[in-house]
Amino acid sequence: MGLPAIPIVNDPGLDEAVKDLTPEKISNVVNRIIDSETAARFKVYMKTCVHCGLCSDACHWFLSNDRDPRFSPVGKVKQTLWEIIKRKDSLDPAFLKECSRIAHTECNVCRRCSMYCPFGIDIAYLLMVVRRICSELEMVPQFLQDTVNSHSVTMNQMWVKQDEWIDTLQWQEEEAKGEIKTARIPLDKEGADVFYSVIAPEPKILAQLIGNIAQIMAVAKVDWTMPSFDGWDNSNMAMFSGDFETMGRVERYHHEAAQKLKARRIVMGECGHAFRGAAYDGPRWLGWRQPPIPLIHAVDFYHELITTGRIKIARKFKTPVTVQEPCNIVRGRGLGQKLREIIAATCEDFTPPDPDFEHNYCCGAGGGVINCGPPWKTSRVKGNRVKAEQLADTKAQIIITPCHNCHSGIEDIISGYKLGMHVKFFSEILMEVMEIPDEMRA
Amino acid sequence: MYEFVSGPLVWIAFIVFVSGMVYQFVIMLRSAKKDKVIYPYMSLKYSLRSLFHWIIPFASRNMRDRYEVTIVTFLFHICLILVPILLIAHIAMFSFAWGLKWMALSQGSATYMTIIVILACLFFFIRRLMLPEVQFVTYPSDYLLLAIAAAPFITGLAANQQWFDYQTTVIIHMITGSIMLMVIPFTRLSHMLFFPFTRAYMGSEFGAVRNARDW
């Protein structure tokens, strides 16, 4: 068909692991996963797909790579699962590297395609089965596997030690107190209304976000706490590598930390995948129909603070803004409308992206793809040209992105396509516009 | 030969079709129990909401974006299902055997609808051949299934119009019709059975769990 060659990327996580694989090892894992870990969904999806290709237009990878059929959702399933099923017992190790490349680095499991399949086949789930097989064969991109190892050892994604965690919180409390006298970060407080959890990159590289939330909580007079112990990190890369055992442990720690502190509810920081893990993939793996303690995303929380008047807006944000609607909270939790409402309440000049709401394009970073690290960055940015075009069309200067993956992914797209825009979390907007009573000011 | 195909073969085809569908249905229900997430999240309200948006033409975004496929697909499926059931010649066979009768299509509309099915098959064939994203995921079996679906309509039309020897055409028509019925439960044509369930499950997930729309 004359398709361009896909650049070969060297990734030690795959290139070293592949040397230990044999067709027997592969066939053992494939048979175990297919026979004992999948059931009706997998089997019916495989039988029902009529190879119509109608899911293609859903995928930003397909659209951005000039409609290259290898990047369409069903094209990815064909190159991985259909081959796996067809040649179960004679799969060569090199093929597994292809599977990992496709499933881990060229699919964001954003689930947009299941809205385009006439049968509602959950194609992202099928790609997750491929990831599971790859993970069980230790075929996971190195950077992604490193975060999983960190989860497994430290219960957080970035090798943050407990003393560093507490130290960072105290430092940020000091910073917040410098602005607002009453700002505190209450550690291990029992029975608080809000148990606030963040992803590990916050203490590691974006600590000011914790200081921001301390100020917001103080102004809104929220009764809140954070744990000093493991379970504070709500992120979960094991969910995306295919290491579901570790994924389950991480989610259990998070929920149990809140239970230990007898919190009334969990409020999660601005991160999409973390919310998906805590609300959705985690409970399912653990056999919980619903999370044991009510769980809401920051967008929901800010909506509550603003609509109930606990946070008042002093002046609206003037610079033109648009929004990156994170898949895992908009398509994954229907928070699109609330997100619009808090933007309308705080920003003067908002232009929606097109398409939007459930039909928004993924940032290209989610689903663990950005965590596959620098080796895969070029293909990731190339694979989301449609996002760059969509953002440029809004002519906004600031893109509000209430998700960490989106935040980093959109920044890469902005620099890759020279859009000259900037990315902000919603809390950063809120910090600029909320009314701080004079008596609170330091 | 005519006696065999119009009698036992049709019987066999119906038995294989019905029992095959029941078998696939039971297998699906049993493996749905093993797939722990299905029953707890199934919701009638959201299943119906999703089905509603996907059986009404243009009610979903992709149906509007790919309007040509939507038009052809809807016409194809409506005609494909109605013509065999409401064809006067088919009803006459049942009426002759069992004395059963039901409403029939006029011969003229049945002919037009048959032509629609055949043209739709041609459209699907060309689409498969020409569109890279469809061609890439096409197996030879996809063409075969298309041929199996088209054959009873082509031969039916030929018999009705008496283009060739009538007796021979009717025999071929009955054989191709029986083949189609028999392969439905065991091939991708089983989407006839599975479609409402895959849709219902995705509708439930989107509605009840994710609080979002799936169309």
Contact in structure between A234 and A197 (CB atoms under 8 Å): yes
CA–CA distance from A268 to each of A166, A183, B42, B97, B211 (Å)? 18, 19, 27, 68, 18
Closest CB to A334: pick one of B65, B142, B210.
Answer: B210
A67/B132 Cβ within 8 A: yes
Which structural domains are found in chain A, ordered by start?
12-140 (1.10.1060), 146-307 (no CATH), 321-433 (3.40.50)
How far is the C-alpha of A25 from the C-alpha of B106, rounded, in Å? Answer: 62
What are the structure tokens assigned to B99, written together?
């004395």
For residue B128, what pLDDT is reported? Answer: 97
Please provide residue A105's backbone torsions phi and psi, each rounded to the nearest 5 degrees: -115, -10
A75 touches chain B (CB under 8 A): yes
A360 touches chain B (CB under 8 A): no
Show contacts of B151-159: CB within 8 Å, 24+ apart. B151/B176, B151/B179, B151/B180, B152/B84, B152/B176, B152/B177, B152/B180, B153/B80, B153/B83, B153/B114, B153/B117, B153/B118, B153/B121, B154/B118, B156/B83, B156/B87, B156/B114, B157/B111, B157/B114, B157/B115, B157/B118
Contact in structure between A358 and B212 (CB atoms under 8 Å): yes
Please provide residue A379's backbone torsions phi and psi, each rounded to the nearest 5 degrees: -70, -30
A48/B131 Cβ within 8 A: no
Q: Which residue has the higher pLDDT, B104 or A1?
A: B104
Chain B segment 56-75 residues within 8 A of A by beta carbon are 60-63, 65-66, 69, 73
How far is the C-alpha of A70 from the C-alpha of B133, rounded, in Å? Answer: 8
How far is the C-alpha of A394 from the C-alpha of A235, rounded, in Å? Answer: 31
Tens place of pLDDT per residue across chain A (442 aa):
588 999 999 999 999 999 999 999 999 999 999 999 999 999 999 999 999 999 999 999 999 999 999 999 999 999 999 999 999 889 999 999 999 999 999 999 999 999 999 999 999 999 999 999 999 999 999 999 999 999 999 999 999 999 999 999 999 999 999 999 999 999 999 999 999 999 999 999 999 999 999 999 999 999 999 999 999 999 999 999 999 999 999 999 999 999 999 999 999 999 999 999 999 999 999 999 889 999 999 999 999 999 999 999 999 999 999 999 999 999 999 999 999 999 999 999 999 999 999 999 999 999 999 999 999 999 999 999 999 999 999 999 999 999 999 999 999 999 999 999 999 999 999 999 999 999 999 8
For residue B36, what pLDDT is reported? Answer: 85
How far is the C-alpha of A431 from the C-alpha of B62, rounded, in Å? Answer: 39
How far is the C-alpha of B12 from the C-alpha of A361, rounded, in Å? Answer: 50
Closest CB to A47: pick one of B37, B65, B194.
Answer: B194
A69 touches chain B (CB under 8 A): yes
pLDDT in tens, A42-61: 999 999 999 999 999 999 99
In CATH, the number for domain B2-23+59-209 is 1.20.950.20
A48 touches chain B (CB under 8 A): yes
A284 touches chain B (CB under 8 A): yes
Q: How far is A337 from chain B (nearest CA, A)?
A: 10
Name the residue of chain B whose CA is nearest to A117's CA. B62
Cα angle A121, A127, A129 (rounded to 5 degrees) comes to: 100
Contact in structure between B115 and B80 (CB atoms under 8 Å): no
A337 touches chain B (CB under 8 A): no
CA–CA distance from A275 to each of A17, A210, A327, B40, B60 (Å)? 31, 18, 11, 20, 27
Closest CB to B35: pick one of A41, A50, A52.
Answer: A41
Report domain extents, chain B: 2-23+59-209
The mean of the pLDDT values for chain B is 95
Give the position of tokens 């999409």. Answer: A272
CB pairs under 8 A between A and B: 141
What are the structure tokens assigned to B50, written together?
């999703």
Torsion of CA B11, B13, B14, B19, to 10 degrees: 120
Tell me the chain A residues in contact with residue B142 when contact means C-beta distances shorter than 8 Å. Answer: 50-51
Best residue of B76, B131, B137, B214 to probe chain A, by most A CBs closer than 10 Å? B137
Chain A segment 16-45 residues within 8 A of B by beta carbon are 38-45
pLDDT in tens, B59-92: 999 999 999 999 999 999 999 999 999 999 999 9
Q: How far is B28 from chain A (nearest CA, A)?
A: 6
